Amino acid sequence: MVLCTFQGKECGAMIYKVITKAEFKRFIGSLVRDNSSFGPHQVGSDCKGNAVYQFLPVTSLEDIAFDYSATASSAKHFFLPFREELSRFVFHDEDWEQQISYDSSPIVLIGLRPCDISALNILDDVLLNGHFPSPYYLAKRKNTFVVGMDHLPLPDCFCKSMNHHIVSTGFNLFCSDIGEEYYLSINSSKAFNFLKEFDTRDPLDEDNWKLVERRKLISNSFVAEIDVTGLPSILDIEFDSPVWEKWGNKCLNCGSCAMVCPTCYCYSVEESFETNLKSAVRQKRLYSCNLVDFAEVAGGHNFRPKNGDRLKYRYYHQHRGFAENANQQICVGCNRCGRACLSGINPKDVINDLRMDGGRGLVAANGSALWRKQLLQLNP
Amino acid sequence: MKYQGFSFNKLKIASFDFTCCEGCQLQLANRESSLTDFFELLDIRNFREISSEQHNDYDIALIEGSVSRQDEVERLEAIRRQATTLVAFGTCACFGGVNSLKNKFPLKESVTEVYPCMLIETSPIRKISEIVKVDLFIPGCPVNKEEVERIVVSLVTGSLVFLPKYPVCVECKAQINTCLFELGEICLGPITRAGCNSVCTTGKTPCLGCRGPAEEINMAAFLALVTERGLSQDDLREKMAFYNAFEGFTNYEA
C-alpha cells in the first residue's frame, strides 16, 4: 500500500514494508559483511557517564549501537572529507598534466537520523543543484547507501523547529521503530532488491496506525524549541546587535562547531609541491568561518577580524541562508555545534537572545514605517 | 634543479643543537618515505647527527634547544652572523621548552638537585629570540617532519612560508576524537596552534601546548570554561607552564 502523505511531506514512489527487528538485524548483518560500512559505534563514555557515539567503520552487528542517542560528529565527512585531494599536477620537462579523479568506493551508512538525512538533502541543493555542481560530492553521494533510523529526540534536539524531524527523501531505506518491528520506507530499487532476500511483509492498517502513533510520540517528545518565524528578517534587522559581540566574546575561534556540523561546507584550497618537486597537489580542506583567518586575503587584510563578526556570519549562513543555497536556512537542528562548543554557544540561546533584542529592533522598524505612512498621508 | 622553466637551488643549511634532547634534529632524518627527496633539496653544510663533515658557509641555520650557558650565547651569536635565515627549530628554541621549568626554582637549588656533587655552570633558560633575531619559528615537541618538509619546499621554491593560525581543535575534530574536556581533562587544544595533526589528543593525551598559542586566542573564554567546569586551577597552571609557551598569558586571575 502507498500512503498519500509520508511523514507530513510529499510522497514519492516509495514502497513500504514491515520487518521484524531480528530479521532486520540479519539484513544489516549481511549488509555490513559484504560492504564497506559505517554506523553508530560507542567510542566510550564522558565524565558524566554518558555514552559517546561516532559514525565509524563497522564489520559486524556487535559494532553497531542500534539504540544510540546521537553521534558527536556528523556524517558529513563521508561526503565532504575534512581533507580531499582535488587534483594532482605532474610535471615533465617543460610541460605538465593535471590528473583529476572522482573515484569513490561504495559505502553503506547505517543509522542516520532524519536531521542527518535532511542535511544531505541540503548539501545536495548546494553542491548538486546549484550553478556549479561538485563531481567530487556527486561521486560520494551516489555511491553511498543510506539507511535511516528514527529516534526519540534528545532534550536539546531542535530539529522539529527547523522542520527536519521528518524526512521523505535522500535515503535508500528508512526504519521507523513500531515496537517489535520496523516500518520500512524503501526509496530505492537497490534497497528493494537487497530486501528481497529477507523476510518482509506489506504493512497492515494496524501497522500504519502504529507508525502514526510513533510519529506523534516523536513529535510530542521535543523539549527544546527555537522560534524561527521571521528569523531571516530578524537577522537582517539585527545586523548590528550587541548580541553578536556578547556571544563572540565567548567564542574560542576553534572551529569545532563547523567541524561537527552536518551542513557546514565552507572550505579552503591549498596548493603545494610534493617534496620531490615533480608533482603538486591541490587540496581542499573543510574550514570554519569562526577561524581567525577565514576572511583573510592576500596581503594580510582580514575582513572579519572580530570574534563577534565571524560568529554572526556563521549564524547568517546557517539561519538566513546565502544566495548559493537559494536563501534557505541550512541548520537542521541537530545541536551538535551546541554540544561541541566548550564555551556553551548554541543556536537556541543565541537566537532567543537575538529575538529578545530583535523585539526592540522590530518596534523601531515598525515605528519608522508608521512615520513614513504618516508622511505619505501628509504629502499624498 | 629545474622544473617548468624555473630553476631552484638547494638550501645551504646547517643544524645546531643547544640545550635540548636533540629530538627535533632527529626528526629531519625521519619520515623515510620521502627522505631521499627531502635531502635532495638540501646541501647540508653542518649537521653532526648525520655527518662528521663541517663547513661554515651555510645560509640557513636551524637552531634547536634553548640557551643555558654563556658559551652557548657566543656560539649562537656567531651563527647569527653567518646565517641569512635563522630558524628557531622546535619548542625549546621557540619558547624555552621543558627546560624552562628550571626557571621556577632558585638556580642553586636546581643544580644541587640534579648534579649533587658537581660544579655546573648554568644560567636561567632563555629562548633563542631573547639572544638573537629569529627569522622563522617552527614549533613542536618534536617538530612535525611533514610540516618541516612543507616549509623547506616553500623555502626552495620561494613560496609563502606559513603555519596554521587556528587551534588544534580543528585537526582534533577531523580525527573524530572525543573532546578531552568531555572526559574531564584540561586540554590546551583550544588555545594551541595546530599543525601537529592533533597527535597527542588522538592518543587521548591532553594537549600541553608545545606549538605555542594559536593566533588571537581567546584566553578569557578559555579560563572561564576551565573554571565553569570546576577543573583544577593547579592542573591548568602546570599545563600552561609546561613548555613556557604561554608566557605572555600567565598573568591571569583564574
A165 in Cβ contact with A219 (< 8 Å): yes
Nearest CA in chain B to A273: B153
Please return the burial class of B77, using the count of CB atoms within 10 Å of its CB with bins 0-12, 13-18 and 19+.
exposed
CB neighbourhood size of A329 (10 A): 21
Peptide bond into A305 cis (omega under 30): no
Q: Does A275 touch chain B (CB under 8 A)?
A: yes
In sequence order, the 6+-apart residues with CB closer than 8 A to the CB of A370 are: none
| Domains, chain B | 2-157 (3.40.50.700), 169-249 (no CATH)
Determine the length of chain B: 254
Q: What is the pLDDT of residue A7?
A: 40
Distance (Å) from the C-alpha of residue A100 to the closest C-alpha of chain B? 20
Distance (Å) from the C-alpha of residue A94 to the closest C-alpha of chain B? 5
Domain ranges of chain A: 15-73+105-220, 231-266+288-365
Taking only residues 55 to 84 of chain A, the set having a beta carbon closer than 8 angstroms to any beta carbon of chain B reads 55-56, 72-73, 77, 82-83
Q: In sequence order, what DSSP letters do the residues of A32-95 get, joined into one string?
A: HHHS-EEEEEEEEE-TTS-EEEEEEEE-SGGG--TT---BSS-SGGGTS-SEEEEEEEEEETTE
* Helix extents (H) in chain A: 21-34, 114-127, 135-142, 189-196, 205-220, 231-237, 242-248, 256-260, 307-319, 336-340, 347-378
Nearest CA in chain A to B145: A275
The grid coordinates listed for A330 are 541550512
Cβ contacts below 8 Å, chain A against chain B, sum to: 123
Percent of chain B with pLDDT over 70: 96
Nearest-by-Cβ selection for B3 from A47, A253, A277: A277
Q: How far, in Å, CA of B191 to CA of B167, rounded?
A: 6
A162 in Cβ contact with A127 (< 8 Å): no
The pLDDT tens digits for B151-160 are 999 999 999 9
Nearest CA in chain A to B225: A343
Nearest-by-Cβ selection for B37 from A96, A255, A275: A275
Please return the burial class of B125, using the count of CB atoms within 10 Å of its CB with bins 0-12, 13-18 and 19+.
buried
Q: Taking CB atoms and an 8 Å limit, are A259 and B169 in contact across chains?
A: yes
Q: Taking CB atoms and an 8 Å limit, are A254 and B41 in contact across chains?
A: no
Chain B residues in contact with chain A using a Cβ-Cβ cutoff of 8 Å: 1, 3-5, 8, 34, 37-38, 40-41, 149-150, 152-153, 156-157, 165-167, 169-170, 173-174, 176, 178-179, 181-184, 189-191, 214-218, 220-222, 224-225, 228
The pLDDT tens digits for A135-148 are 999 999 999 999 99
Q: How far, in Å, CA of A339 to CA of A317, rounded?
A: 19
Distance (Å) from the C-alpha of residue B180 to the closest C-alpha of chain A? 9
Q: What is the pLDDT of residue B252?
A: 53
The pLDDT tens digits for A322-377 are 766 667 889 999 999 999 999 999 999 999 999 887 555 444 444 444 444 444 44
Instruction: Band the pLDDT of A173: cuts 50, 70, 90.
Output: very high
Q: Taking CB atoms and an 8 Å limit, are A52 and B178 in contact across chains?
A: yes
Percent of chain A with pLDDT over 90: 80
Does residue A6 have a pLDDT over 90?
no
Q: What is the pLDDT of residue B51?
A: 87
Phi, psi of A261 (to 5 degrees): -65, 135
Q: What is the pLDDT of residue A324?
A: 62
Does residue A29 have a pLDDT over 70?
yes
Taking only residues 287 to 306 of chain A, the set having a beta carbon closer than 8 angstroms to any beta carbon of chain B reads 288, 291-293
Nearest-by-Cβ selection for A73 from B176, B218, B228: B176
Does residue A1 have a pLDDT over 50?
no
Q: What is the pLDDT of residue A4?
A: 37
Q: What is the pLDDT of residue A375?
A: 41
**What residue type is assigned to position A65 of the chain?**
A
Q: What is the pLDDT along chain B (254 residues), one digit of tens a residue?
A: 766 677 889 999 999 999 999 999 999 999 999 999 999 999 999 999 888 999 999 999 999 999 999 999 999 999 999 999 999 999 999 999 999 999 999 998 988 888 888 888 899 999 999 999 999 999 999 999 999 999 999 999 999 999 999 999 999 999 999 999 999 999 999 999 999 999 999 999 999 999 999 999 999 999 999 999 999 999 999 999 999 999 888 665 44
Q: What is the pLDDT of residue B17?
A: 96
Q: What is the pTM of this model?
A: 0.91
CB neighbourhood size of B6 (10 A): 10
Q: Does A49 touch chain B (CB under 8 A)?
A: no
Does residue A196 have a pLDDT over 80?
yes
Q: In sequence order, what DSSP letters do the residues of A189-223 get, joined into one string?
A: HHHHHHHHTS--BPPPHHHHHHHHHHHHHHHHT--
Q: Taking CB atoms and an 8 Å limit, are A250 and B221 in contact across chains?
A: yes
Segment holding B197, helix H or strand E: none
Distance (Å) from the C-alpha of residue B28 to the closest C-alpha of chain A? 13
A202: number of CA atoms within 13 Å, CB side?
5
Chain B residues with CB under 8 Å of A273 CB are 153, 157
Any bridge partners for residue A267, and if so which? A286
A343 in Cβ contact with A257 (< 8 Å): no
Q: What is the pLDDT of residue B121?
A: 87
Q: How far, in Å, CA of A375 to CA of A320, rounded?
A: 32
Q: How far, in Å, CA of B191 to CA of A300, rounded?
A: 22
Q: What is the pLDDT of residue B69?
A: 95
